[in-house]
Amino acid sequence: MTDALLTLEGLTKAYPGVVANDAVSFAIQPGEVHALLGENGAGKSTLVKTIYGLVKPDAGQMVFGGRPFAPANPRAARAAGVAMVFQHFSLFDALSVAENIALGMDNPPGQRQLSASIRDVSEAYGLPLDPDRVVGDLSAGERQRVEIVRCLLQNPKLLIMDEPTSVLTPQEVQILFHTLRKLASEGTSILYISHKLEEIRALCEDATVLRLGKVVATCDPREKTARELAEMMVGTTLHVPEREGGESGDVLLQVSGLSLPAPSDFGTPLRDITFAVRAGEVLGIGGVAGNGQDELLDALSGERFAPAGSLFLRGQDVGRLRPNARRALGLLAAPEERLGHAAAPEMSLTENALLTGDVRQKLSNRGFIRWGKARDFAKSVIDTFDVRTPGPETAAGALSGGNLQKFVIGREILQKPDVFVVNQPTWGVDASAAAAIRQALLDLAQSGAAVIVISQDLDELMDICDHFTALNEGRIAPIRPASGLTIDEVGLMMGGAHDMHEAETAARAEAEA
C-alpha cells in the first residue's frame, strides 16, 4: 500500500440503526481502474462521499498521494485532485455547455479560454463537445460528456464514476471505456461503481466488494464470471430469472399513431407511435434517456391525455381517461423516478401503498381511508418482495434505492394488472434485487398480463423480453423478436436506424472495420 495513490484504513461511519461503513480498508494504485462492488445498502455511496468530502467518517483515516487526507468538503477534495461524476447529472438545461462547466469549477477561466479548453480536452479524449450548445438540446450521452470534461479540466489524480453507463448506447459505452483506458494509461486512477458486472470484467483490473458495510472480498474481476462477482456481493447463490414458454394471447393494449407535443421546452414529442401488446407477452422498449421514454409512460398511464383513437385497452378507447380510471380497468404503470414520482419520500410505506392501491385494493370507502387494510396491503408487498425495512410505517425516503424499487414494483404487481408499463425497473439496483424484480415481471406475464418494459439496460431487455423495439427522438423502431438480435443491431436501433436493413448493413460495416 506504500505506493498507493489512495489508502483507506479502518473507515467507519454509523447512522442511527445502521453502520454504513465498518472498518473499511483498501488501496487504489496510480493509473488503476478499481471497481467498488456491493448490493444496494452495502455502503458504497457513503464511502465515495467520504472520499469526496461530503461525509465525515467516525473513525479511520485516509492517505492520498502520501499525505493524510480528510477533506472537509468537495472543494477541498477537488483541490487535492479528486473529481467525481455522479449518477444523476447536475446540469442546467437552459445554460450552455461552457456555462455549466464554469459553474462546476472552483476558479473558472474566462469564457473564451474555457471554450478553447473544452474543445481541446474533449477532442483529446474522444468526447467531442460544442461549448456553445445549450445543454437542454443534448442527448444523455452528450450530457455525461459535459460532466466528464468538467472533471478532466481540473486534471484529477483520482476520478470517481458512479453508474456511468446507465444512459449510454453500447457504442457510447465503448467510447467511454476508450477514454477511461487512456486516462489510466496517463496515470489517472479511476474508482468505478457499477451494477453491470460484465462491464466491470471488461474494464477493471481490481475490485473491492462490500457487504453490509464491510469489505468481504478483493479480486481481479477479469478472472471471475459475472455470476461469481454477484454471489460475492450477496453472499448466497444468485437466482437467475426463468421463464416458462407459452403462447401469447389476445391483444390487450393497442397504440395507434400516438403523437403528442413535447410537455416542456426540453421534453421530447411523441411521433406516430404504433404497437400492440398481447396477453402473456413482454415487450421491451430500449433507448437512451431523453428520447421520449417518460413522455410515452405518461401517455400510457394517464398522466397525459392521448388523442382520441390512439390508445385502446381491450378495444376500449382509454386515451381521455385519468390514471385512476385506467387503473380500475387494469392498466397500471410505474415511472422511472422512484422518489418524488413513484413514491412520496416523506410519506410512510402504508401511505404510499394507498396512493396507487386505493382503487383496485378498495382501501377507502366513501372517502374514508381504511387504514388497517392499507397497512395490510403494504405489509404484503414488504413480505412478498423481501423489502428490507423496519415496517410499513417507515418513510419511503428512508429505504435504500433497491428496496424502494422492490416496493414500488411489488405494489403494482400485487394489484394484478392486466397491462403493466414500467420504466427502468432495475435502474441502480444490485444484482440480487434486479433478479427478483425481473422474475416478478416474468411471473406477471406468465399469469396472462401484458408487460411493457422501458429500459436502458440492454442485457435486461434481452433476458426477459419476447419482442424488442427502441425509441429515438420520440419515434419507435419496427418491433422485432428479441431472440437473435445482436447488441450492434440494438444499439443502432437506439441510435435512430429505424430501417432494419439500414441497421444491419451499418452493423456489418462496423464489424468489418
CATH number of the domain that 218 lies in?
A: 3.40.50.300
Over range 297-312, report the average pLDDT. 96
Q: How many CB atoms lie within 10 A of CB 198?
A: 13
Asked which of 234, 265, 300 is the last residue of a domain, the reply is 234
Using the predicted structure, report yes or no on whether residue 35 has a pLDDT greater than 60: yes
Asked which of 234, 266, 292 is the last residue of a domain, the reply is 234
Residue 395 DSSP one-character state:
B
Of the candidates 1, 9, 2, 142, the one whose C-alpha atom is nearest the C-alpha of residue 70 is 9
Tell me what pLDDT residue 503 has.
46
In sequence order, what are the beta bridge partners of 18?
15
Asked if the structure places residue 241 within a domain, the reply is no
Comparing 1 with 366, the larger pLDDT belongs to: 366
Residues 6+ apart with CB under 8 A from 116: none
Our CA angle for 437, 397, 293, nearest 5°, is: 50
d(CA 240, CA 432): 9
Q: Are 218 and 25 in contact (CB under 8 A)?
A: no
d(CA 428, CA 196): 9
Asked if the structure places residue 452 within a domain, the reply is yes
> What are the start-end ranges of the H helices in 214-275?
226-234
Asked if the structure places residue 128 within a domain, the reply is yes
Asked if the structure places residue 183 within a domain, the reply is yes
Asked if the structure places residue 272 within a domain, the reply is yes
d(CA 3, CA 5): 7
In this structure, the answer to whether residues 30 and 105 fall within a common structural domain is: yes
Range with the lowest mean pLDDT among 179-188, 370-379, 457-466?
457-466
In this structure, the answer to whether residues 264 and 229 fall within a common structural domain is: no
Q: How many CB atoms lie within 10 A of CB 186?
A: 9
User: pLDDT tens digits for 390-440?
Assistant: 899 999 998 877 789 999 999 999 999 999 999 999 876 777 788 889 999
Using the predicted structure, report yes or no on whether residue 241 has a pLDDT greater than 90: no
Over range 204-221, report the average pLDDT. 95
d(CA 436, CA 432): 6
Range with the lowest mean pLDDT among 47-56, 339-348, 489-498?
489-498
In this structure, the answer to whether residues 200 and 269 fall within a common structural domain is: no
In this structure, the answer to whether residues 265 and 156 fall within a common structural domain is: no
In this structure, the answer to whether residues 141 and 19 fall within a common structural domain is: yes
Asked which of 199, 234, 269 is the last residue of a domain, the reply is 234
Mean pLDDT estimate for the chain: 90
In sequence order, what are the beta bridge partners of 369?
364
Asked if the structure places residue 310 within a domain, the reply is yes
Helix (H) or strand (E) holding 324: helix 323-329
Tell me what pLDDT residue 277 has.
97
Tell me what pLDDT residue 460 has.
85
In this structure, the answer to whether residues 126 and 10 fall within a common structural domain is: yes
* Location of C-alpha cell 462492488: 37
**By residue range, what is the domain housing residue 501?**
251-339+417-512
Of the candidates 492, 420, 485, 488, the one whose C-alpha atom is nearest the C-alpha of residue 454 is 420
In this structure, the answer to whether residues 78 and 214 fall within a common structural domain is: yes
Collapse the DSSP code of 167 into the 3-class scheme (helix H, G, I; strand E, B; otherwise coil) and give the result: coil
In this structure, the answer to whether residues 146 and 71 fall within a common structural domain is: yes
Q: Are 295 and 472 in contact (CB under 8 A)?
A: no
Collapse the DSSP code of 513 into the 3-class scheme (helix H, G, I; strand E, B; otherwise coil) and give the result: coil
In this structure, the answer to whether residues 57 and 157 fall within a common structural domain is: yes
Which band of pLDDT confidence, cut at 50, 70 and 90, is reported for residue 500?
Answer: very low
Single-letter residue type at 424: Q
How far from chain centre, in Å, is Cα 201?
Answer: 19
Q: What is the dihedral of CA 99, 101, 102, 104, to 10 degrees?
A: 130
In this structure, the answer to whether residues 283 and 182 fall within a common structural domain is: no
Which band of pLDDT confidence, cut at 50, 70 and 90, is reported for residue 513?
Answer: low
Q: How many structural domains compose the chain?
A: 2
Comparing 56 with 169, the larger pLDDT belongs to: 56
Using the predicted structure, report yes or no on whether residue 111 has a pLDDT greater than 80: yes
Asked if the structure places residue 22 within a domain, the reply is yes
d(CA 22, CA 219): 19
* Location of C-alpha cell 460475492: 232
User: pLDDT tens digits for 181-194?
Assistant: 999 999 999 999 98
Asked if the structure places residue 388 within a domain, the reply is no
In this structure, the answer to whether residues 225 and 257 fall within a common structural domain is: no
In this structure, the answer to whether residues 62 and 208 fall within a common structural domain is: yes
